[in-house]
Structure 1
């Protein structure tokens, strides 16, 4: 009913009072602050008060028990009813009578509102339930001390009372649940869905309504417990007793059992092995999926049949029956055999059988059949592969061996071949004796650290090995740590790279000499420029000097020194291969015979020269002067190594067989020139330096150190290769290999047939990046009657020529200049005037021989340092040629 409706609109006032006066219920009216306004006669008699004693008194001072800290229900009861009528519509509490005895009353509280909607009074209707509560208390001892969690529920499932077991199970206290919670809030959401239907069927008396059911209960901490609830209606009431049995452990055990069954089924059905379960009579009880796939039977085809009747062929039946008897006696076994499939084919299987026991009694046998055809095939392939690997190892060009405990445990034929030991000797020989003493320490250290598992040990390195005859081999090794017969070892792959080491040494020496040659050529070029300046100014000093002038002799000495410097520069250029060679077909034997006469007059008589010349030696393409200088230098070098006398052998031989050639030479036909002495030899520590310019072992003042460097340069200039073999006290041997050419008569190189002519004046452009050369050149040329233009580089030369293109008769052009350079400058001048006359002046060309420069459109070439007279002769010839041309 709507408690906010005015009471006068609900009941007529007289009927209302008559109802209260005649009621056998307690009727009480009070103000919102708890002051008593009215109590009906039944209530006055029930509590033992007169109307005068009670009306106007506070509820808390008369009818309520004395306040206790643990009974918050009695604190400010009336104000709480007035402030929240809906919440306090019904409640049960103890009340105090006038004689201080306590009674239990069930109250219904109805607020009465004024016209403004405020609570004006509270009408309380009470029912004495003391007898009921007394009866309940008799059962409380049993209720509290039963082994199950108990709860008393009203018809709306609100919890009226719980016992201690309920508190222990749920984690809630009595105060938190009694009269405050419906027990359904403790049920898991998914399980609570069917609860309303069960409650409805139970309240209507449906005999099929379940009195017990399981659900998940949520405890106060949020954990879940599985419980079995038993619900019993209290006779004559709408209240229900709920007994909760904690079955969490039982549910967990059941689920574990179900899980184990599911695990077993999953393992059983998904096992890669074909599995059959047989009874004590060897009849099939069950087979898994793999059994069906392997033997081609479905379960309904085999259940109850003897297993050997299905999968055993006649040839192996006796053996199979014997195995079955063994298994049925409780003896497990593992064997490999063949079994028959449904189509009659045989399959290789590994069989594992084990007894199944229950309470110590054999109830069956577990039999698993693993298809080992892939393994058998793999074993066959492995045997074939092992044979292939054996062939590979035995025929490998690398030495392969296993090193363990300081000895070689396994080796291939290549290892035996390069060590020179027999198999019996290798097995007894400590591995360290195969290592060169100087390398032994680091090799064995690497081996120990690698076996110890260190990460920073190189697995690939090089060292020197010793063979049985004491020879030294350079070995490149790769090592891998393995387990060999249960102990750590290393597998080693060793490659003999002794030949490559020799080639590497020769390549490094060649690269070194190439670098030194480039440096020497650069020095010679700059030296020639300096000599040119000195030469020019010295010749200027000679002008107008009388033959008997005292300075003339001094100036002549300067010119002689310049000539010696020029020869020194020429030697450097020869070494650096920057000097023009006049090559022609040459018979080396004829040259050596002619040189021998000169040598015999030059070297001491206590040194004998012996010739060993191949009469059929083919011709080589060579410069006669440079070959003469090469042989002279080698012989002089040999003479210096034999102060007490000795023998020098000069030999020639044609070599075409590749096996007789050094590894660094490409196949072909060569002439080998050998110069060998019996002198003191060359120490090993200086053998790599003997071809370097200015290197000498002689005292200061006893040689320039250019002898062998010139030999090296001449050899390189001729496309040859030189080797030196020497040991202290056993002399030295120089072997030079020259490529051959078809033997044909030698022809003299064409010579210029012109001679000095009368000088004729001309306009000359002198181009040089050296200021001193430009200065003395201008002065000398102008002294001779020429008009001179100068330029310090190619760019300026082209610009000057462009502005005087009809005036300049001749260009004297330095070939090596910064910036544009001589060749490009010449090309641009010829582009301006294709008939331009150009004379190239240079110490050397780093990319072209002088004759190549001339063929590239220059008129002629003059080598620095040049005498001015030589330059004037070429200028005169060029001017005469220009005049006479069409």
Structure 2
């Protein structure tokens, strides 16, 4: 994540002032405003000097970061703060209070943030303030009055995004802000004058009178000045978890019946619980993705060694049909292994590098025959495709795999036949309460069947890796988890609706792009056709860098057979040392190299010193290490395991 430096503060003053103006709109900006913002596309984070001061840091000695902030936050609040920022990064604002340890005594602060769109870019902007500067109790100012008497304070509390309820000494509701109306789905008129226990489930409501009586008699209560999670009830009877903090107004025991004695600050935990559930699901898929990526990398290296020796044997035994027959059979097996590792790679973050502007309607039209062949003959497959569908930026080959998988699953759910519909349409999402899907315009693929449907417990686990309801001979439980991972890595969202006996519907939403401003991404995967002769490569000096010694020796033997002058290095550091003091026509480097300098670091350092160096990357798994590296963006990548003549062709393309 990028962050500001002292020298760059002035460069962002104009943007900061624009965001400040948009954040406070028609309200008066506080003096010495502790203001921060984050660019949601680049993740650049900016703090004003007041934020550094609030957290007890020097702007000259530190760069802003969430880690820096978390180091000052009380340990009991850290998880809530992380969840709030995670929701904010997904496109939703938040308001949260927490304690920081920036001085000798813990200080409670309020962090209010919202998403601002400015000049076509999205920013998450926020304002930090000490909570002890927000006095919610007029009695503390020595004024014996209700909240309604203080218009300015009422206006502030009315518009706070957290629900606030004020009650008298007997628990009768005297004040409700707008957020409380939304949270509990009551109007203010419906709540004023009602006992506050109407917002509690029955198992808690009958205890409320006892709590108040104890407080009146002793001045003590387990609820006052404590924060805890409890169940609450909306008007429609739905229960939800809330985090409740109750404060007693000074001299509340002597308060009159028309005066506020207690103030309740409420935080609806629904979205936090949803975010936590999504985080657990994402963490499982991330863990599996990293594991699968590592397996794919190691297995591709093994396949590369085997295929290399087979290809050398193919050359040496060109006149022996019996040997060639066995070699060719072995090479076919290598191709099957390569297909397997490709599927494993799709569980990782490899998808992003192959994204390009696509139209889902056009893709589906191209594969209608293939989809028809993928489902049972007894299934009636229909298509409803929006002809003016907006374009999206995704990997089309992975999208096709995902769609085929969804159709096959739907077909399997209808063994006796049924209806299967594939639809593409534009949709605008406007639900601000949905943590998973931000507001915006999307292109949607929807696959709907009228098959057996899923029980709720199955639906909750449907995207988990290795979870399947099929026989072991018919499914691995990876298809939907791979689809979910692909969609997520392309900034999309995947949802499922299902009812037992009625069928299932999967929806995939991708954010739209302006296709007239985008051009198809250039592929980095190398699939050349080998020419008949490679005489032009003879005598060229090549440096091969790979941590796998068998691959290193194999490539040296193979390239030497074609007359190249080959040097080798078994690490990124060794390769850099050699390349800086010697001249080579071409550097052939593995991308994923263990050690302090991997393949990307090695080439980046080399190009800084020798900008005209010719380079080809080899890799069995690229993850995201080429992202945000402009020096490396045009370097071709040949994917392991590769046919050695494919390598020769790519070398010839780069050198000639």
- How does the TM-score come out when normalised to structure 1? 0.48
- Cα distance change of structure 1 residues 830 and 740 upon mapping to structure 2, 3 Å threshold: closer
- Cα distance change of structure 1 residues 661 and 644 upon mapping to structure 2, 3 Å threshold: farther
Counterpart among 130, 141, 144 of residue 382 in structure 1: 144
Distance 1:569 1:747 in 2: 26
Please list, as runs of the form range in 1=range in 2, the aligned pairs for 1:795-810 lying within 5 A after superposition.
795-801=573-579, 805-806=582-583, 808-810=584-586
Alpha-carbon shift at residue 855 of structure 1 (Å): 5.3
- Residue by residue, what CA displacement relative to the aligned partner does 1:22-78 show, whole Å, maximum 9, x if unpaired? xxxxxxxxxxxxxxxxxxxxxxxxxxxxxxxxxxxxxxxxxxxxxxxxxxxxxxxxx
Is 1:820–2:580 an aligned residue pair? Answer: no
Counterpart among 393, 410, 414 of residue 173 in structure 2: 410
Distance 2:243 2:233 in 1: 14
Is 1:794–2:576 an aligned residue pair? Answer: no
Is 1:590–2:367 an aligned residue pair? Answer: no
Is 1:839–2:616 an aligned residue pair? Answer: yes
State the partner residue of 2:543: 765
Counterpart among 756, 763, 767 of residue 531 in structure 2: 756
Please list, as runs of the form range in 1=range in 2, the aligned pairs for 1:39-438 lying within 5 A after superposition.
381-383=143-145, 387-388=149-150, 398-400=163-165, 409-410=172-173, 412-413=175-176, 418=184, 420=186, 431=197, 434-435=200-201
State the partner residue of 1:564: 336
Contact 2:410 2:451 survives alignment (8 Å): yes
Distance 1:443 1:561 in 2: 71
Distance 2:575 2:358 in 1: 43
Question: What do you get for the CA RMSD once the two structures are aligned?
Answer: 4.6
- Cα distance change of structure 1 residues 641 and 456 upon mapping to structure 2, 3 Å threshold: same
Is 1:738–2:507 an aligned residue pair? Answer: no
Alpha-carbon shift at residue 874 of structure 1 (Å): 2.1
Q: Which runs of 5+ in 2 are unaligned?
A: 1-138
- Cα distance change of structure 1 residues 648 and 474 upon mapping to structure 2, 3 Å threshold: farther
Larger radius of gyration, structure 1 or 2?
1
Alpha-carbon shift at residue 862 of structure 1 (Å): 1.0
Contact 2:197 2:208 survives alignment (8 Å): no
State the partner residue of 2:125: none
Distance 1:422 1:821 in 2: 62
Aligned residue for 2:346, secondary structure, equals helix
- Cα distance change of structure 1 residues 534 and 814 upon mapping to structure 2, 3 Å threshold: same
Counterpart among 634, 653, 678 of residue 425 in structure 2: 653
Distance 1:851 1:549 in 2: 50
- Higher RCO, Cα 8 Å, sep 6+: 2
Contact 2:168 2:174 survives alignment (8 Å): no
Contact 1:767 1:797 survives alignment (8 Å): yes
- How many residue pairs match? The answer is 496
- Cα distance change of structure 1 residues 448 and 869 upon mapping to structure 2, 3 Å threshold: farther
State the partner residue of 1:321: none
Is 1:606–2:384 an aligned residue pair? Answer: no
Distance 2:253 2:408 in 1: 64
State the partner residue of 1:470: 237
Distance 2:168 2:406 in 1: 51
Contact 2:233 2:240 survives alignment (8 Å): yes
Contact 1:850 1:861 survives alignment (8 Å): no
Distance 2:300 2:388 in 1: 42
- Residue by residue, what CA displacement relative to the aligned partner does 1:681-724 show, whole Å, maximum 9, x if unpaired? 44444545543444433332322333123322332343322223
Contact 2:465 2:477 survives alignment (8 Å): yes
Distance 2:256 2:407 in 1: 66
Contact 1:450 1:457 survives alignment (8 Å): no
Alpha-carbon shift at residue 580 of structure 1 (Å): 6.2
- Cα distance change of structure 1 residues 841 and 409 upon mapping to structure 2, 3 Å threshold: same
Aligned residue for 1:772, secondary structure, equals helix
- Cα distance change of structure 1 residues 525 and 691 upon mapping to structure 2, 3 Å threshold: farther
Distance 2:522 2:357 in 1: 11
- Cα distance change of structure 1 residues 626 and 450 upon mapping to structure 2, 3 Å threshold: farther
State the partner residue of 2:228: 461
- How does the TM-score come out when normalised to structure 2? 0.63
State the partner residue of 1:46: none
Alpha-carbon shift at residue 446 of structure 1 (Å): 12
Distance 2:377 2:445 in 1: 23
Alpha-carbon shift at residue 831 of structure 1 (Å): 5.9
- Residue by residue, what CA displacement relative to the aligned partner does 1:376-420 show, whole Å, maximum 9, x if unpaired? x99995347663389578887625265999xx5436456677265
- Residue by residue, what CA displacement relative to the aligned partner does 1:292-327 show, whole Å, maximum 9, x if unpaired? xxxxxxxxxxxxxxxxxxxxxxxxxxxxxxxxxxxx
Distance 1:560 1:433 in 2: 68
Distance 1:559 1:447 in 2: 78
Contact 2:288 2:347 survives alignment (8 Å): no
Contact 2:227 2:244 survives alignment (8 Å): yes
Contact 2:418 2:451 survives alignment (8 Å): yes
Contact 2:530 2:645 survives alignment (8 Å): no
- Cα distance change of structure 1 residues 753 and 492 upon mapping to structure 2, 3 Å threshold: closer
State the partner residue of 1:677: 449
- Residue by residue, what CA displacement relative to the aligned partner does 1:553-609 show, whole Å, maximum 9, x if unpaired? 444443333222222222232232214654443332222233232212220133223
State the partner residue of 1:870: 646
- Cα distance change of structure 1 residues 380 and 445 upon mapping to structure 2, 3 Å threshold: closer
Q: Which runs of 5+ in 1 are unaligned?
A: 1-376, 882-886
Counterpart among 696, 702, 707 of residue 474 in structure 2: 702
- Residue by residue, what CA displacement relative to the aligned partner does 1:447-467 show, whole Å, maximum 9, x if unpaired? 699969576998222234333
**Greater shift in the superposed pair: 417-426 or 770-779:** 417-426
Aligned residue for 1:564, secondary structure, equals helix
Contact 2:424 2:445 survives alignment (8 Å): yes
Alpha-carbon shift at residue 793 of structure 1 (Å): 0.6
Distance 2:373 2:565 in 1: 52
Alpha-carbon shift at residue 792 of structure 1 (Å): 0.5
Aligned residue for 1:733, secondary structure, equals strand
Distance 1:780 1:378 in 2: 85
State the partner residue of 1:176: none
- Residue by residue, what CA displacement relative to the aligned partner does 1:332-353 show, whole Å, maximum 9, x if unpaired? xxxxxxxxxxxxxxxxxxxxxx
- Residue by residue, what CA displacement relative to the aligned partner does 1:734-776 show, whole Å, maximum 9, x if unpaired? 2222122235598796899875141233343221001121122
Contact 2:352 2:490 survives alignment (8 Å): no
Aligned residue for 1:774, secondary structure, equals helix
Distance 2:200 2:432 in 1: 30
Contact 1:767 1:814 survives alignment (8 Å): yes
Distance 1:781 1:677 in 2: 54
- Cα distance change of structure 1 residues 816 and 705 upon mapping to structure 2, 3 Å threshold: same
State the partner residue of 1:861: 637
- Cα distance change of structure 1 residues 795 and 433 upon mapping to structure 2, 3 Å threshold: closer
Distance 1:463 1:469 in 2: 18
Alpha-carbon shift at residue 813 of structure 1 (Å): 0.8
